[in-house]
Amino acid sequence: MSVTRYRSVEEMPRPWRDLNDPANLRLVAQMLALFRSLVRDEPRRAGVQRFRTLEEANASRNDPYRR
């Protein structure tokens, strides 16, 4: 993908959405809801965890698809 450089802000193309459009806030809320649904809510321990086997590592994640 190429990079386009502009000498000034006036040379840049206009945004594809109007900045004052009230639908922008709704779109941001939808993106945040999607993000929350994809990210786990369980806390993670800091640092590196070591496991003796792959089965121990998968069991510690509590992921039913990795068992």
CA–CA gap between residue 55 and residue 67 (Å, rounded):
8
φ/ψ (deg, to 5) at 15: -60, 150
- pLDDT exceeds 80 at position 63: no
Instruction: Determine which helix (DSSP H) or strand (DSSP E) holds 29, and give its type and residue range.
Output: helix 23-38
- Per-residue pLDDT for 29 more than 60? yes
CA atoms within a 13 Å half-sphere pointing along the CA-CB vector of 27: 8
For residue 18, the model assigns a pLDDT of: 84
Contact indicator for 51, 57 with CB cutoff of 8 Å: yes
pLDDT value of position 67: 56
